[in-house]
Structure 1
Amino acid sequence: MGTWDIGPFDNDTAADFSYTVDEAPAEKRADVLLAAFREVTDTGEDYLDADLAVEAVAAAALVAAQCPGGDPVTTAYGPEEPIPPLPPELRPAAVAALDRVLGKDSELLELWSESGEAGPWRAGVERLRAVLTGAAAGAGAAQGG
């Protein structure tokens, strides 16, 4: 894992994912993010590959950046092209993917545990999840749900 820090874009795989996001037409960027979430959640109970997990965390950071309380993605390793407004329906998909990344049989979680930096990394992922969960709940309340 070519990783230099604990942030969602602080590794080679996430930087490559940013390029994939940038290469997609603006109207298809939400689809790229959703595909990253589905790659993770569609693994079911199977072992989750670290690269898939990294992409899902990066995608979740992009969705969370558009939520109340979310942090903007300002790293040079994130997408260079602007992310258009994303549909709120991406939020629960992002939460489900993050739950899988933090769950059983996640190679990424294992790698962070072996590195001794699992606590700070996990706290960052849990912060993304909290922002996404809060925004999803707020959207549901605003829609009368």
Structure 2
Amino acid sequence: MGTWDIGHFDNDTAADFSGTLDDAAESERPGILREALLRVVGTDDYLDSDEAAEAVAAAALVAAQCPGGEAVTTPYGPDEPVPALPADLRMLAVEALDRTLRKPSELMELWDETDAGPTWRASVAGLREVLAGVGSSRS
């Protein structure tokens, strides 16, 4: 995987995933995000880095629509708008991020081999907090 920075879209796989979203009809984009998240959630065996990178990118897009979420403004993210997403994608994204940070996970292992590993983990944890509504005034 070609990675040039720590952002959720700063790798070849996530940038390609953005292209897949851009090429799809707007009505198909929520399903593409769901499929990326489900592939990771449904993996108990070794988690491939490409699948995890897509799930992290998908989670970032879901989190962008949550209270406290940050808009995806990187040039490597989707150019086309992501429609309003179903609320159930939030917890699915949390589960996918949790799985990405649980062994055996190639993406986690690759980041842990770098000095930026703790920063990457913190950025994923930040996404998780937004998705889970940590610190929000939800009832």
Interval of TM-score (by shorter of Structure 1 and Structure 2): over 0.9
Listed one character per residue, the Cα deviations across residues 91-131 of structure 1 (whole Å, up to 9, x for unaligned) are 01000000000111000000001122110000000000000
Structure (1/2) with the larger helix percentage: 1
Counterpart residue number, 2:101:
102
Q: CA RMSD in A?
A: 1.3
Supply the distance in 2 between the matched residues of 1:63 and 1:101 (Cα, whole angstroms): 16
SS of residue in 2 equivalent to 1:82: coil
Supply the distance in 2 between the matched residues of 1:112 and 1:106 (Cα, whole angstroms): 10
Give the drift of 1:24. Answer: 1.4
Give the drift of 1:35. Answer: 0.2
Counterpart residue number, 1:35:
35
Give the drift of 1:49. Answer: 0.2
Counterpart residue number, 2:81:
82
Supply the distance in 1 between the matched residues of 2:70 and 2:128 (Cα, whole angstroms): 12
Counterpart residue number, 1:123:
122
What TM-score, normalized to structure 1? 0.91
Moved segments of 4+, more than 3 Å: none
Listed one character per residue, the Cα deviations across residues 34-68 of structure 1 (whole Å, up to 9, x for unaligned) are 00001101112x00000000000000000000001
Counterpart residue number, 2:54:
55
SS of residue in 2 equivalent to 1:128: helix
> What letter is aligned with 1:24?
A
Give the drift of 1:89. Answer: 0.8
Give the drift of 1:15. Answer: 0.2
Supply the distance in 1 between the matched residues of 2:36 and 2:88 (Cα, whole angstroms): 14
> What letter is aligned with 1:30?
P
Percent of matched pairs sharing the same residue = 61
SS of residue in 2 equivalent to 1:111: helix
Supply the distance in 1 between the matched residues of 2:122 and 2:132 (Cα, whole angstroms): 15
Counterpart residue number, 2:14:
14
Unaligned 5+ runs, structure 1 = none
Query: Would you say how many aligned residue pairs link Structure 1 and Structure 2?
Result: 138
